[in-house]
Structure 1
Amino acid sequence: MTTTQQLYQLYLQHPVISTDTRNIGAGSLFFALRGDKFDANTFAQKAIEAGAAYAVIDNPEYQLGNKYLLVDDVLTALQDLARYHRGQLQIPVIGLTGTNGKTTTKELINAVLSQHFKTQATQGNLNNHIGVPLTILTIGAAHEIAVIEMGANHQKEIELLCSIAQPSQGLITNVGKAHLEGFGGVEGVKKGKGELYDFLSGAGSGVRGAGVTFINSDDATLLDMAAARKLHDVVYYGTNTIDDLISGELLENSPLLTLEWTNNKTGDSHKVKTQLTGAYNLHNILAAIAIGTYFNLTAAEINAGIEGYQPKNNRSQIVKTATNTLICDYYNANPSSMFVAIENIGKLNAARKVLILGDMFEMGPEAATEHAAVIQKALDTAVDERIFIGKDFLSQNSKFKTQKEAATFYATAEEAIAGLKANPIANSTILIKGSRGMALERLVELF
């Protein structure tokens, strides 16, 4: 069997990891990861033929020569290799998780820190038990700081990811209602996300700032979670000024955000215009500013990072068409993110406002209650039109008979497309939000 140390020596010679034979890096290490419907051991020979230097496998039937490295379990071998590599790195590694906003916050932190440091960050949302080790293994000798996003849909997952990434600094963006089925309810979500705080409370890796936790002082849940643990060093940010390193407030949301932030150690205040929409992004921006300040970036560097960040991947993304302004936020959805998105469009200064909301997935037994709550929230918000798409929303339609004219329900996106073609929307600001599986991007061309 090939040991982790033996693998690491080969990794140092071939520091590129491949997991897909459709995209083999020349001279890379191919890890034959098993999927739900396939055994990648069967692709090992193809990977070698495509240019991989070695193939890491866990089925001896496919060991066809000395380029085939046999391990007990390929996924465990990948994670162990990343964990070992992390142990050799003497740079700050910032880990973050949360129910909402973690990818946007990660991108903002990276945008700020990259103004001064050579950074490496999670690509897209590759934030799971495979994505985190793959990201760690892209950190090279030239990198000075890494930003690692960690996602989870059940307890003990953040604990595992922390054991691999070994963050020296970290933050939880928030804790809300998402993946309730996997976590076992909101308390389960709190416990699962809190595994990052658990790790930081015992961190001692020796790199600069080991065990530093950044906390949104406006979030009572995070403050309670922190108080329940012995965190070594806490840096606060928020809209208060007493204990916060950084405080800030929104100046404009129409729909792009402008804010003023203050370094409470120096008393200096600064104004920054962003390319983000959504008042809920205020704390995500302040988190990035706090981390930039902690790492001694200048205000000019911090503002340059914030102003230069342009959202993508359908997260709080503004798209202007000939007749409408779209807020594309359909990468994912849960009750917490739905509520803040609805609240935000309610506060926007726009002539005509429309909500188009798709079903939320992974709600488990809470699905009916949570979809009904979102419908009520939308009905209570001052907008001109409300459209709900999906079977879960449709199943709650009968509960709102007295307000039936205030909303339109469609069972599927296909039905919604037909309805919107028959009744086109123009001269409006439109929020499009739903779980990724609803594929609401199909609606964009209608506007």
Structure 2
Amino acid sequence: MTLSISNIEKILHAKRFGDYNGSIETISIDSRSLQNNKNTLFFALVGPNNDAHIYIEALIDKGVQNFVVSHIPEQLANKATFFVVENTLDALQRYAAYHRSLFKFPVIGLTGSNGKTIVKEWLNFLLSPEFNIIRSPKSYNSQVGVPLSVLAINEMHNLGLFEAGISKMNEMEKLEAIIQPTIGILTNIGSAHDEGFEDLEKKIKEKLLLFQHSKLLIYQKNKNIDLILSSFPLLGVRVLFSWSFADETADVFVSKKAMDDKTILQIRTGKDHFEIQIPFQDEASIENAVTCLMVLLSFKYDQKTIQNRMEWLYPVEMRLKVKNGINNTTLIDDSYSCDFQSLKIALDFLESQKQHQTKTVILSDIFQSGLSNQELYAKVSQLITSNKIHRLIGIGETISEFKSQFTNCITYRNTADFFLHLKELNFANETILIKGARHFQFEEIVAALEEKTHETVLEVNLNSISHNLSFFKSKLKPTTKMMAMVKAFGYGSGGFEIAKLLEHHKVDYLGVAFADEGISLKNAGITLPIMVLNPETTSFSAIIQYNLEPEIYSLKGLNAFLQIAEKRKLKHFPIHIKLDTGMHRLGFSEENLEELITVLKGNSFVSVKSILSHLATSDAIEHKEFAHSQIDLFERLSSKLMIALNSKPIRHILNTSGISNFPEGQYDMVRLGIGLYGISNDAEEQKYLENVGTLKSIISQIRTIQAGESVGYGRRFLADKPTKIATIPIGYADGISRHWGNGLGFVTINKQQATIVGSICMDMLMVDVTKINCKEGDSVIIFGESPSVSLIAEQLRTIPYEILTSISQRVKRIFFRE
């Protein structure tokens, strides 16, 4: 919706500075988005670790003219129009609440601990034949995500589906004012974000605030919620509509029975009895399906329509995935939905994760935009142009009609037609976003373009990387810089993709162990400064060629580097001086400091960019005094070096554990390593970190062996009764320690532990699934939430670093964002 500047000033209760007289068409909070333009209103949000006011100057240079700010940067006072408010997040929420108040159609608000996004996506599928639906894209359910979702409503929509997520008290009231749901859905209440609430009752009460003005509330009946509802009346709820598997007093009573790979649900509501079939057997999917059923019943759908539609529910992929494709391509898989709002998000993700300069989008017809086709595809064309997409491949009847709106566009009437011409498209050396509505079956395109590797994958959650980075940033002073360690192939998680994300988060430095790691990142387009911590003298020429920055830890190394620097006539090339303060691994000791100063003093070939050291016992509180002695020695030696050189380089000594345990040693920069990947040596701190990597495989085969029969090499497992054995295609060649076999270790299948039996082989391992309901092809978690990397390391008497970095490069990495 287009709004005039004068209207915006009133809505935000802002004081305006500037004379822009145009209108606003888009809202932005991301300075990196290529969709920012002169009709954008940019909200400069301020968080605990980031202040978007620092990006305003760059945005003005890109053409953005309107900003909501808490203060005007001094040097920019007359260069744009500023709306000054007390709090920019409050202003964004106020703006969204106003926008929502302009529309009177039904809005369904969803909250709970689990299932919100799946229920929302299924409801969109089930209700879309009758309604033009606006819904939250992906999991946009936060204090920022909700207003951005609601601001996409337009005059053509007639039903809203918005989810609200909270992690602590006093958050839901703000989201309720924005969503203003007329119908409420409370999904499963679990343990997610428990740490933000004193107890379960307070958590439930806070979530119920979303429904205080709703007319209808749908929920699973249980004593806890019923008791709270009876003592915590919601202002507007006229009807409570409950369901249960166990309580026959619920409005809808459900019985279930498994059949093949499906579930039959027997529904009793009042005098009506009927059955529906759903293509799932796991408890979470069944609960989510019943919640959707309740909405259909409340909307008075007939039994036949309910039966027909519920049978076609499908697994929802809630994340954008980055995969390796054929011919050196990178695929971004977003193949289950296609609406205008999520297209904008996917294009931003494409820009943040592109590994090639050439960018291609494979796009289906777009549904439920609330716009006429003419207006919709004009806007899509603008998006494609602003994101500098080199080639668009459109699939669908409608997008084919609007082919002329796009440059360098090929269209096909359907997916089958696309496959007929697949060889002619010559995909190679490009990043490809694959985004299609469900019925176009774009997962087949992903399968055709994906690089073929074996069925074991390491899934890397980029949201978790961002979360963990923010957690450790919150421990730092505002002036402290951050070096993020991406050595050893990103601690086994992958190098470039994580480096690209960290670049977007504007960390100050990346750290690698060897030059070739840094060269790979530079070749992939990473522009951040990269420090090489263990450079070999043979790599110095390459380091200079690729503008990497070497750590220098010995006089021999320094002299070797200076010889090359002099030959190449370098001026002030950045180097980093390593001091040995007690680790006794690498570094200049106190006794050769004077010689170091003599060599460096007056030298114009190099410039000391930083001085660093490394704590030996940052994670061992029992050696706290030793760590303090290292910090004290570092202070003395680095100060002496700085005075002698008459310079003030960056100083840094803290690693991940040091950040938490020795805040007094922050100096100018810290080096975040294993903590970025979700691992802490402190059990209390671990609760606040998110799991980053999940190693998954599948069940290749299941067989039953009899008592006395054995499994694997050396007959190290002998069955004492009939035992069901599953074979998993992952072994020690993939990085799984052989010591984890023979009954010590386990994997997780359908949320149950399956003990590893017999010896782990090179390419496979075997587990006991006698008591687990599973089948060939089912997913297997090797590590992730359970078993965690920390647990495996503890059992094997090693450290998490070894477990993570041992995962073979032949294991495919899939990067995703929730």
State if a TM-score over 0.5 links the two structures.
Answer: yes
C-alpha contact 2:172 2:207 (8 A) present in aligned 1: yes
CA 1:242–1:190: 2 relative to 1, 3 Å: same
1:252 to 1:314, Cα distance in 2 relative to 1, 3 A: farther
Q: Partner of 1:407 in structure 2?
A: 745
- The aligned amino acid for 1:146 is G
Counterpart CA distance in 1 for 2:264 and 2:460 is 21
Give SS of 2:166's match.
Answer: coil
Percent identity over paired residues: 22
For the residue of structure 1 that corresponds to 2:32, the secondary structure is: helix
Q: Which amino acid aligns with 2:99?
A: H
Q: Which runs of 5+ in 1 are unaligned?
A: 204-209, 334-357, 368-381, 388-402, 410-418
TM-score where L is the length of structure 1: 0.67
Higher normalized contact order (CA 8 Å, seq sep 6+, divided by chain length):
1
Q: Distance in 1 between matches of 2:201 and 2:61?
A: 47
Matches within 5 A, 1:91-170: 91-170=105-184
Instruction: Find the partner of 2:193 among 175, 179, 194.
Output: 179
* 1:238 pairs with one of 244, 259, 264: 244
Task: Kindly indicate whether the alpha-carbon contact (under 8 Å) linking 2:138 and 2:319 is maintained by their aligned counterparts in 1.
Answer: no
Which amino acid in 2 is paired with 1:259?
Answer: I
| Residue 18 (1) aligns with residue 28 (2) | yes
Map Cα deviations across residues 114-170 of structure 1 (whole Å, 9 max, x no partner): 232111111111111101111111111111111111111111222322232222221
Look up the match of 1:285. 289
**1:69 aligned counterpart, secondary structure:** strand
2:235 is the counterpart of 1:228? no
Say which SS state the counterpart of residue 154 (structure 2) adopts: coil
Distance 1:31 1:385 in 2: 53
Q: Deviations over 1:385-435 (max 9, x none)?
A: 899xxxxxxxxxxxxxxx9925349xxxxxxxxx98845247563343845
Aligned residues of 1:95 and 1:170 also touching (Cα < 8 A): yes
Q: Is the 1:359–1:435 contact (alpha carbons within 8 Å) kept by the matching residues of 2?
A: no
Change (3 A) 1:304 1:45: farther
Residue deviations 1:351-401 (CA, integer Å, cap 9, x gap): xxxxxxx9999995996xxxxxxxxxxxxxx986899xxxxxxxxxxxxxx
- For residues 253 and 463 of structure 2, the distance between their equivalents in structure 1, rounded to whole angstroms, comes to 29
Q: Is the 8 A contact 2:100 2:180 kept in 1?
A: yes
1:365/1:58 CA distance change after superposition, 3 Å: closer
Name the residue aligned to 1:193: 204
| Separation in 2, partners of 1:73, 1:329 | 34
Q: Judging changes above 3 Å, is the alpha-carbon distance between structure 1 residues 259 and 96 closer, same or farther for their aligned structure 2 residues?
A: same
* Contact persistence 1:4–1:81 (CA under 8 A): yes
The superposition leaves residues 176-221 of structure 1 with CA deviations (integer Å, 9 ceiling, x where unpaired) of: 222232223xx2x431332242453x42xxxxxx43111112x332
CA shift for structure 1 position 234: 0.4
The answer to whether the 8 A contact 1:262-1:268 is kept is yes
Partners of 2:126 and 2:309 within 8 A in 1: yes
Deviations 1:83-103 (A, max 9, x none): 122222212222121122222
**Match for 1:18: what amino acid?**
S
Q: What residue number does 1:264 align with?
A: 269
- Is 1:47 the counterpart of 2:47 in the alignment? no
Which residue type is aligned with residue 237 of structure 1?
W
| Aligned residue among 200, 214, 218 for 1:214 | 218
Distance 1:408 1:110, change over 3 A: same
Q: Cα gap change, 1:22/1:245 in structure 2, threshold over 3 Å: closer, same or farther?
A: same
Inter-partner Cα distance in structure 2 for 1:365 and 1:383: 39
The alpha-carbon distance between structure 1 residues 65 and 359, as it changes in their structure 2 partners (threshold 3 A), is: closer
Gaps of 5+ in 2: 1-7, 15-19, 321-335, 337-442, 465-676, 688-722, 729-740, 748-758, 767-775, 790-803, 814-818
| Contact 2:456 2:811 (8 Å CA) reproduced | no
Indicate conservation of the 8 Å contact 2:112/2:207, yes or no: no
Contact 1:21 1:50 survives alignment (8 Å): no
Shift of 1:329: 12
- Normalising by structure 2, report the TM-score: 0.39
Which residue identity lines up with residue 405 of structure 1 in the other structure?
A: G
**Change over 3 Å in CA distance of 1:291–1:408 after alignment to 2:** closer
Structure with higher helix content: 1
Aligned twin of 2:45: 33
Distance 1:278 1:314 in 2: 20
d(CA) in 1 for partners of 2:248 and 2:140?
A: 37
Pick closer, same or farther for the CA change 1:75–1:58 going to 2, 3 Å: same
Change (3 A) 1:301 1:35: farther
Query: Is residue 246–residue 261 contact of structure 1 (8 Å, CA) maintained in 2?
Result: no
Deviation of 1:239 (Å): 2.9
Where does residue 77 of structure 1 map in the other structure?
A: 91
Match of 1:424 in 2: 764
Aligned partner of residue 96 in structure 2, secondary structure: helix
Question: 1:287–1:428: structure 2 CA closer, same or farther, 3 Å change rule?
Answer: closer
- Paired with 1:263 and 1:25, the residues of 2 have a C-alpha distance of 52
What is the deviation of 1:6? Answer: 7.2
Measured in 1, the distance between the counterparts of 2:683 and 2:215 equals: 33
SS of residue paired to 2:778:
strand
Contact 1:162-1:196 within 8 A present in 2 as well:
no
DSSP 3-state at the match of 1:258: strand
Asked if the contact 1:175–1:222 (Cα under 8 Å) also holds between the matched residues in 2, the reply is: no
Amino acid at match of 2:224: T
Whether the 8 Å CA contact 2:255–2:267 is kept in 1: the answer is no
Maintained 8 Å contact 1:198/1:229: no
- Measure, in 2, the Cα distance between the counterparts of 1:116 and 1:324: 40
CA separation in 2, counterparts of 1:190 and 1:19? Answer: 34
The structure-2 alpha-carbon separation of the partners of 1:17 and 1:301, relative to structure 1 and needing over 3 Å to count, comes to farther
Aligned equivalents of 1:60, 1:273: Cα separation in 2 = 56
Matched-pair contact (CA < 8 Å) for 1:359–1:434 = no
2:315 equivalent among 310, 320, 327: 310
- Change in Cα spacing, 1:298 to 1:68, as seen in structure 2 (3 Å) is farther
Q: Which amino acid aligns with 1:20?
A: D
Are residues 1:4 and 2:8 paired?
Answer: no
Q: Deviations over 1:210-248 (max 9, x none)?
A: 43111112x332223223222531011233685545443
